[in-house]
Amino acid sequence: MNEFLSLFSEQSIKKKTYLIQPQDAVTREYYVLSGCLRSYYLDMHGEKHILQFAIEDWWISDFEAFFSNQSAKLYVEAIEDSTVLSIEKSMLEVAYMRIPKLERFFRLKTTAAFVTAHNRILSTLEKSATERYLDFCLSYPSITTRINDYHVANYLGIKPESLSRIKKAIEVNS
């Protein structure tokens, strides 16, 4: 385990600081020790679209860029003061060779992330905004208390005013 941990670098990131910005070369994955980060895409109209939040024990990066050796398309930003461990892609390959069980661990982690992303797409297509909000609260209860409603609404693909109405309706019906 010490051999594996020695491949990581610890980094502290202040709130509103970027780990990754578009056009960056993405050579690292980040494991969150403390804090909260988000990844988002900025479309051609200047609108932000949050793709992921990452809190303690979660991983974050621009994974498409990381795995395909392309420039970043996403921003990865700390929304709280955060501490992460980062590992270079080349060091990850070394770790796979030295510790074969790690390759299985990362394969399972990647598979779980793919399934989560797939389910989010289906949820956006099939479910109402209220259902998506309730699913978000059930799936990520520790995040909802740490991020503002603007970020939650953006992640859900709705306006903050709509989220406010949804929350009021849920409160009334409880």
pLDDT tens-digit readout, 33-56 = 999 999 999 999 999 999 999 999
pLDDT tens digits, 46-105: 999 999 999 999 999 999 999 999 999 999 999 999 999 999 999 988 888 888 888 898
Domain that holds residue 69: 2-100
Coil, strand, or helix at residue 153?
helix
Domain-located, residue 73: yes
Task: Give the count of beta carbons closer than 10 Å to the beta carbon of residue 39.
Answer: 22
Mean pLDDT for the chain overall: 93
Q: Is 106 within a domain?
A: no
The count of domains in the chain is 1
Give 142-156 pLDDT, tens digit per residue. Answer: 898 899 999 999 999
**Is the pTM value of this prediction over 0.85?**
yes
62, 42 Cβ separation under 8 angstroms? no
